[in-house]
Amino acid sequence: MNDTKNFLGTEPVGKLLWRLALPTVAAQLINMLYNIVDRMYIGHIPNVGAMALTGVGVCMPLIMIVAAFAALVSNGGSPRASIFMGRGDMESAEKTLGNCFSLQILISLALTAILLLWNRDFLLAFGASENTIDYGVSYMNIYAIGTIFVQLTLGMNAFITAQGFAKTGMLSVLIGAVCNIVLDPIFIFGFGLGVQGAALATILSQAVSCIWVMAFLFGKKTILKIKKQYLGLSRKIILPSLALGLATFIMQASESVISVCFNSSLLKYGGDIAVGAMTILTSVMQFAMLPLQGLGQGAQPIISYNYGAGKSDRVKATFHLLLKASLTYSILLWSCVMVFPQMFAAMFTSDAALLSFAKTALRVYMASMFLFGIQMACQMTFTSLGNAKASIAVAVTRKFILLIPLIYVLPQILRSNQTIAVYMAEPIADAIAVTFTAVLFTFQFRKALSALTARSKTEAEECK
């Protein structure tokens, strides 16, 4: 493999992580605008902003599911493609890309049909009230049509980053985000379309990003190309990719389940204002989650490639650098949220009652966020090493074993303020989950590096 293809295994780790992580973090920050700019505009619609924000907030579980299916395919397929590249097996890497592309299209078609047919039923089950359901349905009816653009943009862009083209991956997101920022106020306020305008701006912007991504992967600059002969689904290719991506899918899809649990409990104990505050809280949480995911995505090609190439020192050095950067960011952001909660809440609403409520809830909900750099660094490294079992164990423990039960148990214990008790489930679950993840990772990472060193010695002896 020539130098243009194996730079992941030769450049200094610090310089390489900076080179790859800066664009991926930027891409996630830009992607965050996709997720929150609609809510910023909607929350400030005159007279109906608070109810419209709550209605669109109830749509988030469905939107999370769409993103989770994109991650199921791409976050399993792209690390495997990087590992194959590290081994010099370009044919298997391109087969992985082609299979994942075909599967993304099939999943997109199925999701579109489901969302168009049953979005009202889902939204009512997810915590919409009579006051907010019409806003949610208006948004989802349009968003569902653009599902294929969302799937292909999120899913296939991961394969661009996995090849080391982090700047191109960032541009994929930037193009759509700029379109969305420009179109949102035009459609929402200029044309008076309200939440429908926000949905229309989103899917048109995703369509533009999708065209950019497809043009690159079918073009001349990419290392791995989408080729006709590799589009047929192969069990040997797609099943291991899905197994590896399952942890990320569980993590993201469980966010949808958890959002439903939160919304239903909050509607019971605190009404529409508590559900509206949850929309703000989850939006602010993305300030933590998405940049940390960006750091992990920047490190992923380096870890996966060098793991495939048998270079354990570079794998270890990359993880340690990723952990330091992730932990530093999570501590800094946690500090800002604790000191200036009203500033973050005010981004999404000008309603005095909602603003006051969200300010208090935000400090409770994000109390353990300073630890989240550890969680994300370890989980992203599990995926980069192809350790599907450990990734799934971490995701399931945090969400299903800890958080969901706590959402229902804590209000029964802290009856003096049951609404705040619901919000407390998040920091308590996070603190326990980070401890479990750190312990599991310590053992699994040492085991993986030992196996890699043994494999390298065996290969070296065979070459003599």
- pLDDT of 322-366, one tens digit each? 999 999 999 999 999 999 999 998 888 878 888 999 999 999 999
Provide the percentage of residues in the chain whose pLDDT is more than 70: 96
pLDDT higher than 50, residue 17: yes
Binned at pLDDT 50, 70 and 90, residue 35 comes out as low
Q: Which comes out higher in pLDDT, residue 357 or 251?
A: 357
Which of 94, 102, 104, 29 lies closest to 68, judged by CA?
A: 104
The confidence score (pLDDT) of residue 374 equals 93
Q: Over range 185-192, report the average pLDDT.
A: 90
Binned at pLDDT 50, 70 and 90, residue 460 comes out as low
Q: Over range 64-72, report the average pLDDT.
A: 89
Binned at pLDDT 50, 70 and 90, residue 34 comes out as low
pTM here is 0.71
State the chain's mean pLDDT as an integer. 87
- pLDDT of 410-423, one tens digit each? 999 999 899 999 99
